[in-house]
Amino acid sequence: INHELAKYMVVGNHVILRDKEGFVHDFTIRKVTTDINNVRMTVYAENGGMDLNNESAQPFTAPSEQKSLEWYLTQAGQPLFDSPIKLGINELSNLKRVISNDSKETKLLQRLITTVNAFDGGEYRLYAKLANNNTTLPVLNLQLDIVKKLGSDISQTFLIDDYNLKELTNETSIVDLITAVFPRGKELDNGTVVDISSIVYDDGTYYTTKGSQYIKNRKAHSEWSYSRFS
């Protein structure tokens, strides 16, 4: 806690790191805990892409003709629809496929993985891109790059406890707990089910966003999980 940077470890502040390949990663501090003796500080921060793991993706039926990967990712209820994440490099832009997904509980992050993988095993990287050279208050944009499959699916590495595995922990958390209602209507003649994904509503307590199928309770969320709305 006496470290010179400790004063910046405040909920809402950002931690910006650059990995060994030069990509920038932006983390928002969500929770700060200090021990009773004010000696140790524990900081919980989330990557900017965590929203993909908090929101559910909508099922979609196969289109009548082949479509590009960008088309699938930008449809309503899909990972890049109405999202601050921008598509950057796309090495699979020349490919087109007919795919579908009827899962009703898939998170946007899992949908991103399965959709990209459906295009010849494609992979992606998500990182923050500095929009200017202002080192005091840099502007960060989240960028998603799509790349061709790298390597094989066969693992050549074995992790063995007390040999090359330094530490293995198991954590249980309710930081993503949200109290919500999942309204479902009748099934229409064309097979689609009526839902609320086209509705935008917010009365301060209950709210839903376009593309979401849930009505969430902001008050319950603040009581039963640490607030994401501060």
User: Which tens digit of pLDDT belongs to each residue from 119-175?
Assistant: 998 999 888 877 665 555 566 788 899 998 876 666 666 666 666 677 777 776 666
Q: Quick count: other Cβ atoms within 10 Å of Cβ 108?
A: 25
Structure tokens at 158: 């074995």
Instruction: Note the pLDDT of residue 81.
Output: 87
Q: Give the CATH number, domain containing residue 107.
A: 3.55.50
- Structure-block tokens of residue 7: 């004063």
Question: What domain count does the chain have?
Answer: 3
Contacts of 14 (CB under 8 A, 6+ apart): 26, 27, 28, 29, 140
Q: What is the DSSP string of 144-162?
A: EEEE---S-S-------BT
66 and 124 inside one domain = yes
Q: How far apart are CA 14 and CA 12, in angstroms?
A: 7
Q: What is the per-residue pLDDT for 230?
A: 42
Asked if residue 111 belongs to a domain, the reply is yes
Query: How long is the chain?
Result: 230
Range of the domain at 86: 51-147
Contacts for 2 with CB less than 8 Å, ≥ 6 apart = none
Give the number of C-alpha atoms closer than 13 A to the C-alpha of residue 106, restricted to the C-beta side: 20
CB burial class (10 A; 0-12, 13-18, 19+) of residue 150? exposed
Please report whether residue 122 resides in a domain: yes
Residue with tokens 């099934």: 187
Question: Is 166 within a domain?
Answer: no
Residue that the structure tokens 């039963």 belong to: 224
What is the pLDDT, as a whole number, of residue 91? 94
Measured CA to CA in angstroms, residue 198 lies from 47, 101, 117, 207 at distances of 28, 19, 28, 13
**What's the pTM value of the predicted model, to 2 decimals?**
0.58
Residue 129 and residue 95 share a domain: yes
Instruction: Report if residue 156 sits inside a domain.
Output: no
Is residue 95 located within the same domain as residue 106? yes
**What average pLDDT values come out for the chain (230 residues) when binned by 10 residues?**
81 84 84 82 82 82 93 90 88 93 80 91 86 60 86 65 68 69 82 84 89 84 58
